[in-house]
Structure 1
Amino acid sequence: MSRLQEPHGGRPASRPAAVIFISAVLVLEAAVLLVLAGWFVYNLFTETPVSMGGAVFTTVLLAAAGGWLLALGHFFFRGFRWTRAGVLVFQLFALVIAVPTLQGGVLLAGLLLLVPAVAVLILLFTRPVVRHTSRLSGETKAL
């Protein structure tokens, strides 16, 4: 059973707007990370890095994080309960990067990290989102 079901009927349940927003933010964050990974790959072939190992590691890390966020966005949208922890951790990492970025004077980049992370963290604990990701009727959604 891959569709969300209403408890008393066969109609698919509508997803809360907060779930759609959080999923969209996760996909956008994943796209940014994957574009950055692509940029790193391009630079690996066009410029000589100071540290080849460091550049390759950063590229792999960016691509892995982007892939992980795509998976989180997909499974969060579908209502899997384990995704809340992953979303929480990634947004906390974004906050950890955003605050020093803002303090360093890079206002636009800091705000682009801070604002979505704060919005997702606030919406993540709202009742409709928690209810969407912890349904008890129908198929259990745990991997």
Structure 2
Amino acid sequence: MSRPQDSTAPTSRPAAVNLISAILVLEALGLLAVAGWYVYNLLTATATSLGGAIFSLILILAVAAWLLVVGHFFFRGMRWTRAAALVWQLFMVAIAVPTLQGGVVLVGLLLLLPPAAILLLLFTKPVIAWTSRTNSEPKTY
């Protein structure tokens, strides 16, 4: 038995999906760079709480790995990745706004512009259609 074909589903990947996936991967690489800088500081300076510092490092690495997974599966068109990308971008906005208000404008803008782009593109029709395709076999992952 075949499934009915959805004529509104796109056949090729929209450019917005490529851009969102690239930004998610760049954010993950940025977190990995922060983790490397964090390890360097752990090795060269004395931490107030070594356990807390190691926990923070593990958390940074886990979030970076998760963002790589989300970026990869968003590129492939998985539906669940929209929610994961949305939640991370809201966290980024929650960090960027106080940074801007604290007077660190360049860092604040670097933290605010990628989430703003993703939040704008995430709800466009081509992106929603790409991640909601019903014309192919169901994906079980």
- Please indicate, yes or no, whether the TM-score normalized by the shorter chain is above 0.5: yes
Aligned-residue offset at 1:141: 3.1
Q: Is 2:24–2:68's contact at 8 Å kept on the other side of the alignment?
A: yes
- State how far apart, in whole Å, the 2-side matches of 1:142 and 1:104 are: 45
1:100: which partner in 2? 98
Aligned to 2:118: 120
Partner of 1:51: 49
Distance 2:106 2:50 in 1: 29
Calculate the TM-score normalised by the size of structure 2.
Answer: 0.90
Task: Report the number of matched residues.
Answer: 135
Alignment of 1:11-22 (within 5 A): 13-22=11-20
The residue number in structure 2 matching 1:83 is 81
Q: Is the 8 A contact 1:79 1:141 kept in 2?
A: no
Cα distance between partner residues in 2 of 1:141 and 1:66: 25
| 1:69 shift after superposition | 0.3
Per-residue deviation, 1:139: 2.0
Aligned-residue identity in percent: 61
In 2, Cα distance between equivalents of 1:139 and 1:132: 14
| TM-score after normalising by structure 1 | 0.88
**Aligned counterparts of 2:112 and 2:138: Cα–Cα separation in 1:** 34
The residue that corresponds to 1:70 in the other structure is: 68
Partner of 1:38: 36
Q: Distance in 2 between matches of 1:46 and 1:125?
A: 44
Q: Partner amino acid for 1:68?
A: W
Letter in 2 for 1:91: Q
Q: Distance in 2 between matches of 1:62 and 1:37?
A: 6
Q: Is the 8 A contact 1:95 1:114 kept in 2?
A: yes
Aligned to 1:3: none
SS in 2 for 1:22: helix
- List, as ranges, runs of 4+ consecutive aligned residues in structure 1 with deviation greater than 2 Å: none
Unaligned runs of 5+ in 2: none
**Runs (5+) with no aligned partner, structure 1:** 1-5
Partners in 2 of 1:59 and 1:139 — Cα distance? 40
Higher RCO (Cα < 8 Å, 6 or more apart): 2
Alignment correspondent of 1:28: 26
Query: RMSD of aligned C-alpha atoms?
Result: 1.8
